[in-house]
């Protein structure tokens, strides 16, 4: 009886602590640099920033050699590259067939997607710090080489606008990655959303008066353009344009994409 009673005694199960979110974020950040494409895509932010600053020093008129000119020139390549980083960070689990391993080790898909979002935004903020530093260095070198006056014409509020615009641009890439979960489809949709649709909206606004007043409410690129202008502070109407287009083109699609991610089969 003693042996039977001892056999029936159940030892308490050892509790397994969940993997901390900080460790998942660190892994996602490392995965962005692991591949050659990921490494050079992130490195291209620094390379294109230096090239843009060099172009301003060489060809900008003396009257335009200001800090805002450097920041604007650096924005053009960076605002294109950042969404691509977010797209590849999300779609890699499906395109490279690593999703089964990832979601087995961390079965809560929401934590993985959250870590990808946080790491992507972290990359964007680091890119902004680099862009501001390169712009400042270019402004100093430009004034020294060209012998022009040193002009710092960007305040803290305008810098925050700039960072917000960059983060929103990156989140568009994140949204497309979650929605399509395939690199090719998400990249094609990104270029359509970034270049084709704004062009069509612009042509329509120039030819149709009724659409001219409607464009700020439905064209996300047009609405967010004010974040990168250093001439004035945004008005209430401009913030409303950003909010409406952000909900329409960013928030609603990302919610749909998250629902699909939670329900889709991982192979």
Q: Is residue 97 part of a domain?
A: yes
Q: Is residue 10 part of a domain?
A: no
Q: Is residue 2 part of a domain?
A: no
Split at pLDDT 50, 70, 90, the class of 1 is: very low
Q: Is residue 109 part of a domain?
A: yes
Mean pLDDT of 222-246: 90
Mean pLDDT of 162-166: 91
What mean pLDDT is reported for the chain? 87
Which residue did the predictor score with more confidence, 185 or 63? 185
Range of the domain at 236: 19-262
Nearest 10 degrees: CA dihedral of 117, 119, 124, 129? 150
Q: How many domains does the chain have?
A: 1
Split at pLDDT 50, 70, 90, the class of 38 is: confident
Query: Where is mean pLDDT largest: 4-8, 18-22, 263-267?
Result: 18-22
Q: Is residue 7 part of a domain?
A: no
Split at pLDDT 50, 70, 90, the class of 11 is: low
Question: What percent of the chain clears pLDDT 90, i.e. is strictly above it?
Answer: 46
What distance in Å separates the CA atoms of residue 162 and residue 229, rounded to the nearest whole number?
Answer: 8
**Residue 43 clears pLDDT 50, i.e. is over it:** yes
Q: Is residue 1 part of a domain?
A: no
| pLDDT-wise least confident of 13-22, 150-159, 173-182 | 13-22
**Residue 3 clears pLDDT 70, i.e. is over it:** no
Cα separations (Å) of 235 from 223, 239, 250, 254?
12, 6, 21, 27
pLDDT tens-digit map of 71-122? 999 988 999 999 999 998 888 887 767 766 777 777 788 888 999 999 999 9
What distance in Å separates the CA atoms of residue 46 and residue 50, rounded to the nearest whole number?
Answer: 6
Q: Is residue 158 part of a domain?
A: yes
Q: Is residue 31 part of a domain?
A: yes
What distance in Å separates the CA atoms of residue 142 and residue 189, rounded to the nearest whole number?
Answer: 38
């Amino acid at each position: 009886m003693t042996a039977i009673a001892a056999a029936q005694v159940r030892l308490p199960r050892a509790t397994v602590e969940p993997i901390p979110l900080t460790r998942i974020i660190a892994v996602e950040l490392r995965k962005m640099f692991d591949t050659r494409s990921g490494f050079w895509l992130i490195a291209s932010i620094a390379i294109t920033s230096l090239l843009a600053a060099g172009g301003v020093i060489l060809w900008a008129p003396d009257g335009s050699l200001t800090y805002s000119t450097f920041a604007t020139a650096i924005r053009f390549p960076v605002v294109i590259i950042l969404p691509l980083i977010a797209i590849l960070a999300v779609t890699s689990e499906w395109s490279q067939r690593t999703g089964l391993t990832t979601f087995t080790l961390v079965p809560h898909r929401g934590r993985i997607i959250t870590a990808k979002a946080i790491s992507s935004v972290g990359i964007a903020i680091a890119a902004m710090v680099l862009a501001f530093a390169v712009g400042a260095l270019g402004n100093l070198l430009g004034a020294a080489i060209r012998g022009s006056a040193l002009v710092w014409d960007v305040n803290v509020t305008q810098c925050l606008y700039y960072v917000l615009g960059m983060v929103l641009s990156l989140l568009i890439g994140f949204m497309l990655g979650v929605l399509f979960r395939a690199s090719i489809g998400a990249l094609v949709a990104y270029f359509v959303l970034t270049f084709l649709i704004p062009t069509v909206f612009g042509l329509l606004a120039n030819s149709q008066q009724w659409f001219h007043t409607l464009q700020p409410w439905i064209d996300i690129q047009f609405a967010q353009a004010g974040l990168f202008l250093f001439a004035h502070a945004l008005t209430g109407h401009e913030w409303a344009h950003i909010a409406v287009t952000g909900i329409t083109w960013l928030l609603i699609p990302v919610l749909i994409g998250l629902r699909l991610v939670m329900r889709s089969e991982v192979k």
